[in-house]
Amino acid sequence: MLGRTYDREVCSAARALEVVGERWSLLILRDAAFRGLTRFSQLQEALGIAPNVLSARLEHFVASGLMTVDRDEGHPRYALTPKGRELVKVVLALTEWGDRWAAPDGPPIEYGHEGCTGTVRLVTCCDTCGGSPPVEDIVARRTPAMEKALARRGRTR
Amino acid sequence: MLGRTYDREVCSAARALEVVGERWSLLILRDAAFRGLTRFSQLQEALGIAPNVLSARLEHFVASGLMTVDRDEGHPRYALTPKGRELVKVVLALTEWGDRWAAPDGPPIEYGHEGCTGTVRLVTCCDTCGGSPPVEDIVARRTPAMEKALARRGRTR
């Protein structure tokens, strides 16, 4: 399992990266979520990933509560939990960036809204004005939880 | 510079991870975007990252067009480009997941809307019904660009 790589950080993004920041992690979750793959062999074939790496990732996902594993039927079957499924939004954000900046022939997939003909995008939303601010208008503000965490560690930033 | 780790993949998320999938990459972008850090020494101190790793990441960011570097004033000064700044949405998605699943004492920061009192979240938005579908109602659909890319490679999936 991955160690506490970003242990010095008081940051939810760093905590998330400790869970899915290793190579292949987010693409395994993508295939579990969008291609419905549940078997080790399916994931291995789809991704062309080294078996020992896939094995380590899946064990880590189960240990971290992102996936459950059902070993009753011979070959284990992996399924995303709600905790794991919510990471799909990270995959969406990566996809949208890649579509815009790294897909010269156009987006290879689009995210559809099931039961609707529409496509789904991730947008920013301000809970007060209802606007969708561009990233340059978003600022990070410390919460009391951050101040407490830093005080516990004897740090001020 | 990072190689084409996910070269077999026809996927914008994989392309994005080739640019920012290595350890520390997204946290460096976070600090450049939200803490306004521009100097090597500032980033090194803030992150506690090994200097050779930070150096490799920054060079890769400049080569990939995520950052510009100004070497005129002695110490180089790094600045995000629009291409780099848009990756902030990936950091937002990671933060929201971490806030929900890995912040037992509460979120350490919140993302504020500058010039407004509100806080900003990432939400899904369907371009047809206007709804905000949960991740389990989002499906990946291949586009013609994907079919063409697979045909070029002689693959069907």
pLDDT at A156: 59
CB contact under 8 A, B93 and A23: no
> Residues B121-125: what's their mean pLDDT?
96
Rounded CA separation B10/B146 (Å): 7
Separation of CA B93 from chain center: 9
Find where tokens 């399916």 sit: A42
> Residues B16-45: what's their mean pLDDT?
96
Per-residue pLDDT tens over the stretch A108-118: 999 999 999 89
Q: Which residues of A touch B144 (CB under 8 A)?
A: 106
Distance from CA of B153 to the nearest CA of A (A): 14
Beta-bridge partners for B112: A139, B119
Per-residue pLDDT tens over the stretch B68-93: 999 987 889 999 999 999 999 999 99
CB contact under 8 A, A124 and B119: no
Residue A155 has pLDDT above 90, yes or no: no
Q: How confident is the model at residue A1 (pLDDT cuts 50, 70, 90)?
A: very low
How far CA B7 is from CA of A24, A70, B3, B4, B12, in Å, comes to: 12, 31, 9, 5, 11
> Residues B44-70: what's their mean pLDDT?
96
Beta-bridge partners for A126: B120
pLDDT at B108: 95
> Residues A79-93: what's their mean pLDDT?
97
3-state SS track over chain B: CCCCCCCCCCCHHHHHHHHHCCCCHHHHHHHHHHCCCCEHHHHHHHHCCCHHHHHHHHHHHHHHCCEEEECCCCCCEEEECHHHHCCHHHHHHHHHHHHHHCCCCCCCEEEEECCCCCEEEEEEEECCCCCCCCHHHEEEEECHHHHHHHHHHCCCC
SS3 A90: helix
3-state SS track over A34-54: HCCCCEHHHHHHHHCCCHHHH
Q: Which of B6, B16, B106 sits opposite A143 (nearest CB)?
A: B106
ipTM exceeding 0.90, yes/no: yes
CB contact under 8 A, A118 and B127: yes
Which one-letter amino acid corresponds to residue A156?
T
Distance from CA of A40 to the nearest CA of B (A): 18
Residue A145 has pLDDT above 60, yes or no: yes
Suggest the residue from B29, B44, B124 to mutate for an interface test with chain A (most A CBs closer than 10 A).
B124
Distance from CA of B74 to the nearest CA of A (A): 27
Residue A94 near residue A35 (C-beta atoms within 8 A) = no
CB contact under 8 A, A94 and B16: yes
Q: Tell me which of A157 and A6 has the higher pLDDT.
A: A6
Task: Write the CB contacts of A3 (distance below 8 Å, at least 6 apart in sequence).
Answer: none
Rounded CA separation A60/A17 (Å): 13
Q: In whole numbers, what is the pLDDT of chain A averaged over residues?
A: 93
Domain ranges of chain A: 12-85, 88-148
CB contact under 8 A, A27 and B33: no
> Residues A123-127: what's their mean pLDDT?
97
Q: How confident is the model at residue A7 (pLDDT cuts 50, 70, 90)?
A: confident
Closest CA to A132 of B64, B132, B58, B136: B132
Residue B66 has pLDDT above 60, yes or no: yes
CB contact under 8 A, B129 and A138: no
% of chain B at pLDDT higher than 90 = 84
Find where tokens 């019904």 sit: B129
pLDDT at B23: 93
> Residues A33-45: what's their mean pLDDT?
96
pLDDT at B1: 39
Q: For A85, which residue in chain B has the nearest alpha carbon?
A: B135
Q: How confident is the model at residue A154 (pLDDT cuts 50, 70, 90)?
A: confident
Q: Which H helix or E strand runs over A100? A: helix A88-101
Residue A8 has pLDDT above 90, yes or no: no
CB contact under 8 A, B13 and A30: yes
Q: Assign a CATH topology to domain A12-85.
A: Arc Repressor Mutant, subunit A (1.10.10)
Distance from CA of B76 to the nearest CA of A (A): 22
